[in-house]
Amino acid sequence: MFDFLKPKKSKRKQVLPLFVDIHSHLLPGIDDGAQTITESLDLLYHFEALGYKKVITTPHIVQDFYPNTPSVILQKLKEVQEAATENNLKIRIEAAAEYYLDEYFYALLDQPDQLLTFGKNYILFETGFINQPAILFEAIFKMKAQGLQPILAHPERYAYLQGNYSLAPEIAERGALFQINMNSLTGYYSPAAKKTAEKLIDEGLVSFAGTDMHNMRHMENLRDAINTKYFDKLLDQGILNNTLYDS
């Protein structure tokens, strides 16, 4: 049969070979992700249906908007874990955080044992979307010096990096790992984010694929993202998500 006559749907991936996610907003009511326990459980149900066995969910910690602390996050985590068990979900749920890079976070780095990390002392951080933070390299240096392994969340979404791509290898050389959002691969956020994500993959600079799941719209788009050519290319490169299953 000619290729174009074959039904396209049957080729679509419904279940992922990726079974650990490291970036999401699933704890209800503490950031701009899930707002109720019902929404949390709904999203977790869909994670499980996609083949995920573990999510390390990462609520925002942004001093002015989401002043979350480890105790707030871990308390919410417990509530969600209990509700998930009551609802027969098998997926493992753990929590860390997505730290917003500012002076507040820079100061928090003085006490690394107070920070929410995962795996091999990984710490997920994000920056503002428009301008390169003046303390970006200093902060990466400080994280490394404190024995942490920084992971920069969704580098492809930052305008300062889209417009100055050579910054990406420079950030990598300073010792940060990159986590792209899978939904960037469909153009969900913007054409520039898609293009930058693809370039990062082409250059082998991506260590983790994350869902950055906030809501059901993200979940619906994820089903398209996992069927993009670039997602397959990323999986072929051997990303690190699944190495976190036992940690």
Tell me the closest approach of the beta carbon of residue 59 to Fe ion, in angstroms: 9
Task: Give the DSSP letter of residue 22.
Answer: -
Partners of residue 66 on adjacent β-strands: 62
Task: Give the DSSP letter of residue 178.
Answer: E
Tell me the closest approach of the beta carbon of residue 134 to Fe ion, in angstroms: 22
Tell me the closest approach of the beta carbon of residue 68 to Fe ion, in angstroms: 13
Tell me the closest approach of the beta carbon of residue 66 to Fe ion, in angstroms: 11
Q: For residue 147, what are its two tokens? A: 């024995």
Site string for Fe ion, 160-199 (x = CB under 5 A): ----------------------------------------
Pick the closer one to Fe ion by CB: 94 or 98: 98
* CB-closest chain residue to Fe ion: 212
Closest C-alpha among 87, 85, 68 to residue 76: 68
Pick the closer one to Fe ion by CB: 39 or 170: 39
Answer yes or no: are the C-beta atoms of 146 and 105 closer than 8 Å.
no
Q: How many residues bind Fe ion (CB under 5 A)?
A: 2
Tell me the closest approach of the beta carbon of residue 116 to Fe ion, in angstroms: 14
Tally of CB atoms within 10 A around 2: 5
Site string for Fe ion, 82-101 (x = CB under 5 A): ----------------x---
212 conformational bin, left if phi > 0, alpha if psi -120 to 50, beta if neither: left
Pick the closer one to Fe ion by CB: 31 or 198: 31
Task: Compute the CA torsion angle 126, 130, 136, 140 (nearest 10 deg).
Answer: 30
Tell me the closest approach of the beta carbon of residue 31 to Fe ion, in angstroms: 8
Pick the closer one to Fe ion by CB: 94 or 212: 212
The dihedrals phi and psi of 93, each to the nearest 5 degrees, come to -120, 125
What is the rounded distance in angstroms from the CA atom of residue 112 to the CA atom of residue 110?
6
Pick the closer one to Fe ion by CB: 98 or 169: 98
Pick the closer one to Fe ion by CB: 102 or 141: 102
Which residue reads 């996050």 in tokens? 73
Interaction between residue 156 and Fe ion (CB under 5 A): no
Task: Compute the CA torsion angle 79, 82, 86, 88 (nearest 10 deg).
Answer: 110
Q: How far is CA 200 from CA 85, 217, 233, 237, in A?
A: 38, 25, 11, 12
The dihedrals phi and psi of 109, each to the nearest 5 degrees, come to -65, -10
With CB under 5 A as the contact rule, which of the stretches 5-13, 195-203, 204-212, 239-247 interacts with Fe ion? 204-212
Of the residues 212, 219, 225, 244, which one makes contact with Fe ion according to CB under 5 A: 212
Tell me the closest approach of the beta carbon of residue 97 to Fe ion, in angstroms: 10
By CB under 5 A, name the binding residues for Fe ion.
98, 212
